[in-house]
Amino acid sequence: MDGIFNINKPPGSTSFSMVSLVRRLSRQRRVGHAGTLDPIAGGVLPVCLGKGTRVVEFLLEESKAYRAHIELGRSTDSHDASGKITAEADCSSVSRQQIEQALNSFRGEIQQTPPMYSALKYNGQRLYHLAREGITVERQSRPATIYKLELIEFQPPEVVLEVECSRGTYIRSLAQDLGQLLGCGAHIKELYRLKYGSFDIKDAVSPAGLEEAFDNNDWQRLLYPIDYVLNHWSSVVVDEDQERLIRHGSSVIIEDDKPEKRCRAYNQDGCFLAVLYYDDESGRWQPQKVFA
């Protein structure tokens, strides 16, 4: 049972509870999720099983898309609706044009300060543990990339945005920074992840749907193959001698002009064999992860 489930996590549940559900249904111990969703957030949560857990690091590199419902005029300590209110301001004068203009400041390469309510570590402790104890520490700003940022709806005091962004982007910080720029404060009211790499919310299964699939013993139709998350990479088919070398962790020469630094390798039977990376010094392809 190796692969990935695309689960539509309901708001109010934790990402770990989805892992626990899959672990219970599949009776697999090797289960993990890629990219934590806050309890307040819902949407796409890839949950990997067996050898599927070995591609989590590649999945984490992928871009994500969100729909964010932001409430103007109220700031919270967590930058979302679950936190304590820290400030309130009149936002009745904020116009759609002002919002559109403010959004220009967040497109492209930006710097963000991670919120205290995040999973980053400070001296070995998660920031959210410190935040719950009322402790605030200094955080260094980090680069993030906003590929797409659109104002979908504005019904004061609520702003609805769609965001496509890079790894390490905090939508809660985006809402907080937008509120500060508009001079009235803001926080995330609702948040949904619409896409994560190749996974789309339109194809995601609910926890109830996943349970039903296991009850009916047709869960296989919901399990994506391991290499699904790598489909945008180049691929090569190796011969039997190359396959033998790759299985033993040895590098191979592939007579193919591949500009990418990594590729998917398949054997003659079409089975996903390994992730290879190109070593410039030796001019050979080295196995990074072998799956067969």
Q: Identify which of 143, 63, 151, 77 has the alpha carbon closest to the alpha carbon of residue 111.
A: 143
What angle, 0 to 180 degrees and rounded to 10, lies between the N-to-C axes of helices 171-182 and 96-103? 120
Output the CA–CA distances (angstroms, integers) from residue 129 to 107, 125, 134, 141, in the order listed. 31, 7, 9, 20
77 and 173 fall within a common domain: yes
**Catalytic annotation present for 38:** yes
The domain of 49 spans 3-62+198-228
The CATH number given to whatever domain includes residue 92 is 3.30.2350.10
46 and 165 fall within a common domain: no
Residue 259 binned pLDDT confidence (cut-offs 50, 70, 90):
low
Long-range contacts of range 277-283, CB-CB < 8 Å, 24 or more positions apart? 279/251, 282/251, 283/253
**pLDDT at position 114:** 81
Q: Give mean pLDDT, residues 14-26.
A: 96
73 and 173 fall within a common domain: yes
**pLDDT at position 257:** 65
Q: Is the Cα torsion angle 156, 160, 165, 169 positive or negative in sign?
A: positive
23 and 82 fall within a common domain: no
101 and 139 fall within a common domain: yes
What is the rounded (10 degree) CA torsion for 275, 249, 47, 78?
-90
**pLDDT at position 28:** 93
User: How much of the chain, in percent, has pLDDT values that exceed 90?
Assistant: 81
Residues 2, 38, 177, 269: which is the catalytic one? 38
**Would the pLDDT of 279 be above 70?**
yes
pLDDT digits (tens, 9 = 90+) for 129-179: 777 777 888 888 899 999 999 999 999 999 999 999 999 899 999 999 999
121 and 172 fall within a common domain: yes
189 and 203 fall within a common domain: no
79 and 157 fall within a common domain: yes
pTM of the model: 0.92
**pLDDT at position 258:** 62
pLDDT digits (tens, 9 = 90+) for 108-132: 999 998 887 777 777 788 777 777 7
pLDDT digits (tens, 9 = 90+) for 55-102: 999 999 999 999 999 999 999 999 999 999 999 999 999 999 999 999
160 and 84 fall within a common domain: yes
The domain tally of the chain equals 3
Q: Which of 166, 193, 220 is the last residue of a domain?
A: 193
The CATH number given to whatever domain includes residue 253 is 2.30.130.10
58 and 72 fall within a common domain: no
